[in-house]
């Protein structure tokens, strides 16, 4: 499965783990990244991920997250078609960075776009997208039921 993880997935392990939901999503993200390392899933990266990650104020987190790009099977740049699709997605109700991530994932032909962002998930459910959008926990549950 070709997966695109939103930056909030990569940041989830750095969040307060005392909340059950955060801890569960963290474990799911770790399991998915292990699947990438084991070759069971393929990871797609984008220039948008690189840009957004570069904005994080903590260098150690930026460095840790940036390492995952090395395991990606490809990196989607910001082309005119990606920019145009991102604009369409903004018009449909997505926030600009979310729209850019989704446009990149669609352009790469990803099977799944994974995010912990409830707003993004709600917006995606009401639209027809070229990529399935799921929470990491739900993704793993779907794999278990396949």
What would the pLDDT profile of 5-62 be if each residue is shown by its tens digit? 999 999 999 999 999 999 999 999 999 999 999 999 999 999 999 999 999 999 999 9
Q: What is the pLDDT of residue 1?
A: 96
For 49-58, the pLDDT digits (tens) are 999 999 999 9
Please state whether the predicted TM-score (pTM) of the whole model is above 0.85.
yes
Check if CATH label 3.40.190.80 holds for domain 2-145. no
Q: Return d(Cα 37, Cα 22) in angstroms, integer.
A: 22
DSSP 3-state percent helix, strand, coil across the chain (nearest 5): 60, 15, 25
Burial of 93 (0-12, 13-18, 19+ CB in 10 A): middle
Over residues 104-128, mean pLDDT: 96
Q: Where are the domains of the chain?
A: 2-145
CA dihedral 132, 133, 135, 136 (to 10 degrees): 50
């Amino acid at each position: 499965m070709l997966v695109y993880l939103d930056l909030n997935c990569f940041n989830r392990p750095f969040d307060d783990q005392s909340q059950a939901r955060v801890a569960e999503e963290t474990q799911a993200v770790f399991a998915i990244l292990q699947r990438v390392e084991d070759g069971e899933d393929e990871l797609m990266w984008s220039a948008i991920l690189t840009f957004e990650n570069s904005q994080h104020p903590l260098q150690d987190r930026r460095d840790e997250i940036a390492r995952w790009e090395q395991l990606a099977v490809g990196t989607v740049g910001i082309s005119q078609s990606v920019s145009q699709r991102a604009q369409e997605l903004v018009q449909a109700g997505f926030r600009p960075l979310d729209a850019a991530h989704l446009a990149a994932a669609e352009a790469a032909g990803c099977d799944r776009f994974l995010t912990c962002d409830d707003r993004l998930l709600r917006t995606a459910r009401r639209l027809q997208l070229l990529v399935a959008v799921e929470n990491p926990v739900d993704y793993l549950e779907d794999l278990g039921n396949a």
